[in-house]
Structure 1
């Protein structure tokens, strides 16, 4: 009996299916959220340790340094990483080399500008210590300019595991360096050393740990023009973003002393935790997803955009509810009495943070559509409102009035972003208003309970927060059901029914 033997060549074997866009987005979200939570936990733990080793004035000084360095970075932002994610040439070695060359040049220019502008800035605030602090901290921008484009490439491919690992290790290096320096010297220079350690670690790992294209100095005119065309509105938008985000700190730096400014900085650190967490997901997950869906046969639809944004809005609403109800108790529990005023500041900041998160949820779709001028318009509207709200609020309500004015300015930016996407039928204003009403009801109940009963503060805070979050239970369950549906998007980016 003869046996018929058949052989199958490797070419005939079925190729493993590529991960769906849905699974890539979920995997990226898990990595991003997990890493951001870990980074924030380290940062907050370090902050609590440092408040016991350093004085409030140190945090006020570093807040002024942070405003300066953030301003320089935003005033020279060309959207290089966003362009790598969004561009059709995002995997082209020539394009990547040109982008990296521009990034290095930008880092050098940033540090030189910092050295030139330090003196007038220090004289404006009458803080001689800034003359040495700013050039030292700004040196980290020079280091960051040499970071490899491999980080942006991983973001483009939604392969965020290794990129998140780099961020985690860099944050850990920052924490260890800062705390060790503070233990020995008990000086504001501990905060400076941490910033430099963070960027040294991140830049080094991007070159020696991550795999991918090995960048080198090069210049391609077509690539440079492409980067310029995409980045010109990013440039304008980031200038306005800086003015919108930092105007309160710039004006408060002249209105209040360094000690109270440092206490405000503590409240701001906690208020920014949910914002940075959800913005990280929006930038590293929602933006690449929207960019892919935009290129699908049917384009980016309202249903697709809503399904990506809805979990971010619900999670953001729950976090803001917790901060509004229990922010004061949180500060009193974790910090010594010198920082007690940060508690009520955190509660008021949480109101503005909610509208900021709603606007941030719209930004990835605007960016994916290439309508970056609307980002600039939104930040301009916020800045204009801040120019009036901060001095008027301070005149009538001191720093409490300022915080209320900040919240109003975030509402202005949100409606500009919503209008921009309404033209493409991608906005969700009714749903956003519903979530806002839910925050008002749940936080109002929790806040009332927290100030009515005479129980132990910790017990009362836990009960109040739990009851407030109960309002969000049906919405959180719907998000879980959505996540469990692994096949929400088909290969063309369309929603499966």
Structure 2
């Protein structure tokens, strides 16, 4: 990857990070407020509604926008036809989902509260359908600042709306309304930044061309969503909405405090990899650098979160009914680590035009998921007879499944695209010998009687003061500068750009 191109990608990552941080901080504040305002059961209702809505959306969403990002040469009639199809789909689905809210909620053991939430969320089918597809030109031009605004401002405004409404009404419907506001603002921004307005058209030939590529992404996205949300349904069925609420809160904290940085940096990879597809050597170097850097960040963030999980969840909600969420948060950290690297290899496969590989791998994951979750739940339940231990077993089983997937993706990219597998594996685990003991030391040194804010600060500092210098020394000592950025190099580039 050339220095100028790498600089563009780094600027894009910084733009995404800086723009998304306020929204994520407000999202974290909304999570804290929800934990302090709602009971685990009510929070579980909201997450069950979001899961049902998400499954319904993915089952009918052809995932065409990724196709247009991947295909800059797509003709005008293709984009216009996709817009028309999306609009028709949105209107029909909004009506159907509203009418079927009651039986859908009943199918997942949800009550009247879930029905109301589903009817609110049904409006997002229409809102999403009127997004302007011509905004794809922003992605083709690697205009990362605009991309960041499109993807972050809606979340910012939606979180503000959610906070205000939750303070007033203390009802999970406030959270659903925040989701709707997020979609509305994001839709408006696609029209603000698109270089033209779409026209009504319906070219069957163009839609078939789009479908031939996006069908694999659709299958993959459905499976990935099920992999991420099937655990919610599983836990709700076996352990009840209260434990689902505890599990969902821990996952939300992990997503907002750890995964947001990883996901933000990963968002810039697909447009960048598309530019490098014609040069296998540059693509391999860029992939290894992404794997090395994201893995190092993941190890540090996950280790620090593991060390301060108890204090973090006490800060979010001191109410005893939320206890156990800190254990789930700790158990989620292995999943967080693997998910970051899987995203890198997934972006490579989409960039080179192999979404079908992702579908096959994700299908294998889904086939294994329910048996593994059941095994994890039964093993956990058998330890002390506690349903919470069963939930922890489910969490660890999902992490193991994602680790197996990581190895499959790594081997495929090595065999088919000359991306060195052993180097990728080594870079992924480079900081493990440092971060694991650092997290253990921080956990051991902290006193549980300390003020949660003080304990969290001490624990995080211990991990950072050990892991960051070790990262720098390992990169320099092993001469890995061409494969992974050191902290000083990242800071230097950020300042210079």
Which residue of structure 2 lines up, in the alignment, with residue 439 of structure 1?
432
Matching residue within 257, 263, 267 for 2:246:
263
**Shift in alpha-carbon separation, 1:140–1:347, aligned structure 2, 3 A:** same
Distance 1:482 1:193 in 2: 38
**Aligned pairs, how many?**
464
- 1:445 deviates by 3.3
Closer, same or farther in 2 for the Cα pair 1:50/1:483, shift >3 Å? closer
Q: Distance in 2 between matches of 1:143 and 1:213?
A: 19
- Residue 349 in structure 1 maps to residue 342 in structure 2: no
Q: Is the 8 A contact 2:438 2:463 kept in 1?
A: no
Give the alignment's TM-score, normalised by structure 1.
0.86
Name the stretch that deviates more: 237-246 or 421-430. Answer: 421-430
The residue aligned with 2:307 is: 325
Q: Pick from 408, 412, 427: which aligns with 1:416?
A: 408
- The match for 2:444 is 451
For the Cα contact (< 8 Å) 1:328–1:343, is it kept in 2?
A: yes
Judged with a 3 Å threshold, the aligned counterparts in structure 2 of structure 1 residues 454 and 244 are, in CA distance, closer, same or farther, namely closer
Deviation track 1:242-292 (CA, whole Å, cap 9, x = no partner) reads 221112111101012222211111100122233344234323x21111111
Query: 1:142 offset after TM fit, Å?
Result: 1.5
Query: Equivalents in 2 of 1:174, 1:263: separation in Å?
Result: 23
Q: Which has the larger radius of gyration?
A: 1
> Which secondary structure does the structure 2 equivalent of 1:451 belong to?
helix
Structure 1, 165-174 or 475-484: larger mean CA deviation: 475-484
More helix by share: 2
CA distance in 2, matches of 1:179, 1:233: 38
1:37 — aligned with what?
A: 21
Shift of 1:146: 0.7
- Asked if 1:72 corresponds to 2:52, the answer is no
Paired residue for 1:316?
298
Distance 1:100 1:468 in 2: 51
Contact kept in structure 2, 1:118 and 1:131, CA below 8 Å: yes
Contact 2:341–2:406 (Cα < 8 Å) also in 1:
yes
Distance in 1 (CA, whole Å) between partners of 2:110 and 2:180 is 25
Relative to structure 1, the CA distance from residue 434 to residue 211 in structure 2 (aligned partners, 3 Å threshold; closer, same or farther) is: closer
Residue 392 of structure 1: aligned partner: 375
Deviations 1:389-419 (A, max 9, x none): 2111111211121111111111122122112
**Deviation at residue 220 of structure 1 after TM alignment:** 2.7
Q: 8 Å contact 2:300–2:435 — kept in the other structure?
A: no
Q: Secondary structure at the match of 1:472?
A: helix
Distance 1:299 1:431, change over 3 A: closer
Structure 2 equivalent of residue 478 of structure 1: 486
The 3 A distance-change label for structure 1 pair 420 and 106 is: farther
Question: How has the CA–CA distance of structure 1 residues 218 and 479 changed in structure 2, closer, same or farther, with 3 Å as cutoff?
Answer: farther
Q: TM-score, normalised by structure 2?
A: 0.86
1:371-386 equivalences under 5 Å are 371-386=354-369
Match of 1:153 among 133, 137, 147: 137
Q: Using the alignment, how far apart are the partners of 1:460 and 1:278 within structure 2?
A: 23
Give the match's secondary structure for 1:78.
Answer: coil
- Cα pair 1:450 1:460 within 8 Å, conserved: no
Partners of 1:452 and 1:311 in 2: CA distance: 29
Alpha carbon RMSD of aligned pairs, Å? 2.5
> Which of 352-361 and 74-83 deviates more?
74-83
Whole-angstrom CA distance in 1 between matches of 2:182 and 2:119: 16
**1:443–1:468 Cα contact (<8 Å) kept:** no
Describe the shift of the 1:427–1:109 C-alpha distance in structure 2 as closer, same or farther (beyond 3 A). farther
Gaps of 5+ in 1: 1-18, 487-497
Q: 1:432 to 1:462 in 2, by over 3 A?
A: same
* Partner in structure 1 of residue 316 of structure 2: 334
1: distance between equivalents of 2:110 and 2:277? 51
C-alpha separation in 2, matches of 1:67 and 1:75: 12
Question: How do 1:209-358 and structure 2 match up within 5 A?
Answer: 209-273=192-256, 274-283=258-267, 285-296=268-279, 301-337=283-319, 338-358=321-341
